[in-house]
Amino acid sequence: MRVPNWPVFLSAMLAIALLPLVFRNGYALHVMILALIYAIFAQAWNLVTGFGGMKTFGHHAFFGMGAYGSALLSIHAGLSPWITIWIAALLTSVAGVLIALPVLRIRSVPHIAIITLAFAEIVRIIVSNLRGITRGELGLIGIPGFDPLNLPVIGLVRFTPAYKLGYFYLAWLVFFVVTAGILLARNSAHGMRVIAMRDGQDAAESLGVNIAAYKIALFFISAFIVGLIGAFYAHYIIVLTPSSVLGVDIMVLVIAMALVGGIGTVAGPIVGAVLLVVSVELMRDLGQYRMLVYGGLIVLSVLYFPNGLASLADRVRQWRRAPDPILQQQDNRS
């Protein structure tokens, strides 16, 4: 069992929390918030695919459902976004369980990929055609931001397009909780059973692992996290269109993040999210041609870093521990 290095984890989280002291302008804060959103999204997808071994291509449906669910509830029911994000996340997690049920009966990777992708496409078409409610590609407007909070010691924290610091620390808090939770879960007995299920489903089942229960639980937790961060995204961006939260390019981006960073690891999706979000901002003028760059990054990472960029630290550590061949040869001669 691999023990988490908690001092390193807490130091990294503290360093991220202090970034706004270095990068103070609004654009830099916006990029950092997007990096946190996608890091959480990629981590949640990695739970099902990287740790659970179920190759799903439809998680962007959960992102869109969380975003539209929370936005519509806050607009039409007049509820605070602080409440609607949790309702939307719970509803999305129920959808996650529903999509997990057919997956339980299927082991073929292409079939799981097609079913989940078809589910996401159905959700996108429904949202696009319910123009009376969602306004389709015209864009859902009038989404309220988070209400300000008056916290002890800190004082009034606002959430407005002109004041992004509150959004940054809220995204950081979700990122901190999700990452710490995944670290704890991965090293628990349940985490070991999930990894055993991924590496050999029949062998794990013969040892008493309840495969169906673990698959449903993974989909429930993963969909909840993605729905929650989708809801956060809606109240941060304030305008939604089906293509902006339900487009297949979002799923391609998340898969690229996990592959480039390191699928099946905790740090990999985070590394990939930071790298690709910054790359997206640098390549914004290329429009849809950015997909070619994503494809190129995936091919290069598979060829030269099959375990992802996060594995570079392990490679360096192994290289430093390896004995010097010249010294070893001299020792053998002596």
pLDDT, tens only, 299-315: 887 788 878 887 777 76
Give, in degrees to the nearest 5, the angle at Cα 278 between 21 and 54.
Answer: 115
* pLDDT score of 333 more than 80: no
Mean pLDDT computed over 187-205: 90
- The answer to whether the CB of 217 falls within 8 A of the CB of 29 is no
Residue with token string 């020792």:
331
Name which residue leads in pLDDT, 6 or 280.
6
Mean pLDDT computed over 227-249: 93
Q: Average per-residue pLDDT in the chain?
A: 88
Query: Distances from the Cα of 59 to the Cαs of 31, 33, 292, 329, in angstroms?
Result: 22, 20, 21, 53
pLDDT of residue 249: 86
- 3-state class (DSSP) for residue 304: helix
* pLDDT score of 280 more than 80: no
Label residue 1 by pLDDT band (50, 70, 90).
low
Q: Which of 332, 4, 2, 3 is nearest to 179 (CA)?
A: 4
Beta bridge partners of 140: 240
CA distance 324 to 24: 46
Label residue 100 by pLDDT band (50, 70, 90).
confident
- The answer to whether the CB of 84 falls within 8 A of the CB of 249 is no
* pLDDT score of 322 more than 70: no
CA 59 to chain centre: 9
Name which residue leads in pLDDT, 163 or 122.
122
CA distance 248 to 21: 35
What ranges in the chain are assigned the alpha helix state H?
A: 6-17, 19-22, 26-46, 60-76, 81-104, 109-129, 131-134, 165-186, 189-199, 201-206, 211-237, 242-246, 248-261, 267-282, 290-304, 312-321, 325-333
Mean pLDDT computed over 158-172: 90
Name which residue leads in pLDDT, 276 or 332.
276
